A and B are shown apart, each in its own frame.
Chain A
């Protein structure tokens, strides 16, 4: 279980303090599939990065399975069972898909095991396993490999930062299918997804609406979605 207590995060901008997250309190229970949504600049990605330890909070604490992890670094949190999918996956010269999957799994992977993770994300292992994770891969391919590395980790908490960003329509259909499957097989682990996508919001157990650095609403898709769609702000002619 993940617990966030009185978490605040501020940055300095032009000599002034800019508050990104303000006194946030939140708990995500095991077995839950939670989607955090909200307008651009509401602090969603910052929250995800704070959970992984990529950013350090200004104040407040983060607890994971009853342990205060606020002062733990990224590696320590990863080893405790937290994983993180980047909004923009990182490229590496010379590191191959199989190397990254092996590092994610923390052990030597057989080709058939690697194939399992890659086929989950709609990639044929034969075509990809020896490919370098460099600029020869498209944004959609990188995104799918990023998700495969999380599948290979089997962690207790998986955080996805805007998994839909930068992927094509075909990949998106697959992405929804992956998340539906993860939700079915969630057992006692939990999944947190930062997303704007209605179809991802619809499969959530719970939606958190973050706005202006605070949680404005929390509830099931049935409770939250009508209000969200009504607040889309799109003018009548475009609807």
Chain B
């Protein structure tokens, strides 16, 4: 049975679009405690013996099922590191929704470092959605340092959507992926920073098998005095194709460092990178103002669209 208070429910809504207990498998973690769990015939969730996290086992051939593993922190001063390992069976097709919401009204820092490892079996398909959100007006920082490791077998595919739009003071995200032949990885990252927030996002994608493909696309907005670093490297070790793109809007006194990089160790590796940083174009604002929007409303629409 899931027991959550009002703040925790609000955080869950923000990070997982959940208004009630989801169908299928789930594991709710609130203030470092298990708050609810459900398993299905095909998806098992077990706590690690040393208490450091959970293992999620998805049976081969599992189709159209989902796993939700939201984490919420509503007490000030919690610092935790959690290991979640996903074993996705061959030929399965699943959606995994993770995310962390921190509400910190206190003066101590709250920090959740989630280490997610995905072992994606042959020809399996995974859609992974991860949202991070922070709220609360305390002096304590809201800190999230996720690490994601993806190991993809032949012919598997994984789509990752990662979003952090509001309220996280400091984040240092690291994503590493190893792809075998014909494996396909698509990453869509959305990031917005405000105030004095800092965000670092690094990717290392290794394309190790023939026909492996990766597309890592980040869109970000840096407002106020916030600072962002995007550092994405794709390495081609076989006949493969990779593309990385970081596209950023800079506002106010924001700071953005974009370092897309490519490394080829095979003559048939086709790798492309793109990076762009710029303010909102004046003609975009003017166009929306000719539709009756104020400059501020126009700016909001442009940013909302950009981060969609």
Q: List chain A positions with a Cβ less than 8 A from chain B.
A: 52, 54, 73-75, 78-79, 83-84, 86, 89-90, 92-96, 99-100, 103-104, 106, 132, 149, 153
- Report the minimum CB–CB distance from A118 to chain B (whole Å): 16
| Residues of A with C-beta under 8 A to B292 | 75, 78-79, 106, 153
Q: Report the nearest A residue to B303, measured CB to CB.
A: A94
| Residues of B with C-beta under 8 A to A106 | 291-292
Q: Report the nearest A residue to B249, measured CB to CB.
A: A93
Q: Which of A54, A92, A104, A132 contacts B291 (CB 8 A)?
A: A104
The 6 closest A-B pairs by CB, nearest first: A94-B305, A95-B305, A74-B289, A78-B292, A90-B287, A94-B308
- A75:B305 contact, CB within 8 angstroms: no
| Residues of A with C-beta under 8 A to B219 | 93-94
- B290:A84 contact, CB within 8 angstroms: yes
- A78:B291 contact, CB within 8 angstroms: yes
- A95:B301 contact, CB within 8 angstroms: yes
| Residues of A with C-beta under 8 A to B295 | 75
Q: Which of B293, B294, B306 contacts A103 (CB 8 A)?
A: B293
| Residues of A with C-beta under 8 A to B290 | 52, 54, 74, 78, 83-84
Q: A54-B286, A103-B301 are in contact. Are A90 and B291 (CB under 8 A)?
A: no
With A78-B290, A86-B287, A90-B281 known, 8 other A-B pairs at CB within 8 A are: A75-B289, A75-B294, A90-B287, A92-B306, A93-B306, A99-B305, A103-B293, A132-B305
Q: Report the nearest A residue to B294, measured CB to CB.
A: A75
**In whole angstroms, how far apart are the Cα atoms of A89 and B247 in the complex?**
21
14 contacts between A and B (CB under 8 A): A54-B290, A74-B289, A75-B293, A75-B295, A78-B291, A79-B292, A83-B291, A89-B287, A90-B283, A94-B219, A95-B302, A99-B305, A132-B305, A149-B291
A52, A75, A92, A99: most-surrounded residue (chain B CB, <10 A): A75
Count, chain B residues at interface, CB 8 A? 22
| Residues of B with C-beta under 8 A to A100 | 291
**In whole angstroms, how far apart are the Cα atoms of A99 and B302 in the complex?**
11
**In whole angstroms, how far apart are the Cα atoms of A103 and B304 in the complex?**
13
B307 located at the interface, meaning its Cβ lies under 8 Å from any Cβ of chain A in the complex: yes
Q: Which of A90, A94, A99 contacts B307 (CB 8 A)?
A: A94
**In whole angstroms, how far apart are the Cα atoms of A151 and B219 in the complex?**
32
- Report the minimum CB–CB distance from B91 to chain A (whole Å): 31
Q: A90-B283, A93-B247 are in contact. Are A103 and B305 (CB under 8 A)?
A: no
| Residues of A with C-beta under 8 A to B286 | 54, 74, 90
Per-residue A-contact encoding for B239-257, CB less than 8 Å = 1, 0 else = 0000000010000000000
| Residues of B with C-beta under 8 A to A75 | 289, 292-295
- Report the minimum CB–CB distance from B243 to chain A (whole Å): 16
Number of A-B contacts (CB under 8 A): 60
**In whole angstroms, how far apart are the Cα atoms of A153 and B293 in the complex?**
12
- Report the minimum CB–CB distance from B189 to chain A (whole Å): 14
- Report the minimum CB–CB distance from A23 to chain B (whole Å): 27
- B288:A103 contact, CB within 8 angstroms: yes
| Residues of B with C-beta under 8 A to A79 | 292
Q: Report the nearest A residue to B292, measured CB to CB.
A: A78
B284 located at the interface, meaning its Cβ lies under 8 Å from any Cβ of chain A in the complex: yes
- B305:A78 contact, CB within 8 angstroms: no
- A92:B293 contact, CB within 8 angstroms: no
**In whole angstroms, how far apart are the Cα atoms of A52 and B292 in the complex?**
11
Among residues 163 to 181 in chain B, which have CB atoms less than 8 Å away from a CB atom of chain A? Answer: none
Q: Which of A78, A104, A132 contacts B289 (CB 8 A)?
A: A78
| Residues of B with C-beta under 8 A to A132 | 305
| Residues of A with C-beta under 8 A to B308 | 94
- B302:A103 contact, CB within 8 angstroms: no
| Residues of B with C-beta under 8 A to A103 | 288, 291, 293, 301
**In whole angstroms, how far apart are the Cα atoms of A54 and B286 in the complex?**
7
Per-residue A-contact encoding for B272-289, CB less than 8 Å = 1, 0 else = 000000000101101111
- Report the minimum CB–CB distance from A108 to chain B (whole Å): 14
**In whole angstroms, how far apart are the Cα atoms of A42 and B301 in the complex?**
35
| Residues of B with C-beta under 8 A to A96 | 305
**In whole angstroms, how far apart are the Cα atoms of A83 and B254 in the complex?**
34
Q: Report the nearest B residue to A84, measured CB to CB.
A: B290
| Residues of A with C-beta under 8 A to B289 | 73-75, 78
**In whole angstroms, how far apart are the Cα atoms of A83 and B291 in the complex?**
7
**In whole angstroms, how far apart are the Cα atoms of A84 and B287 in the complex?**
8
- B306:A94 contact, CB within 8 angstroms: yes
**In whole angstroms, how far apart are the Cα atoms of A89 and B287 in the complex?**
8
| Residues of B with C-beta under 8 A to A92 | 284, 302, 305-306
| Residues of A with C-beta under 8 A to B287 | 86, 89-90
| Residues of B with C-beta under 8 A to A73 | 289
**In whole angstroms, how far apart are the Cα atoms of A15 and B101 in the complex?**
58
**In whole angstroms, how far apart are the Cα atoms of A132 and B307 in the complex?**
13
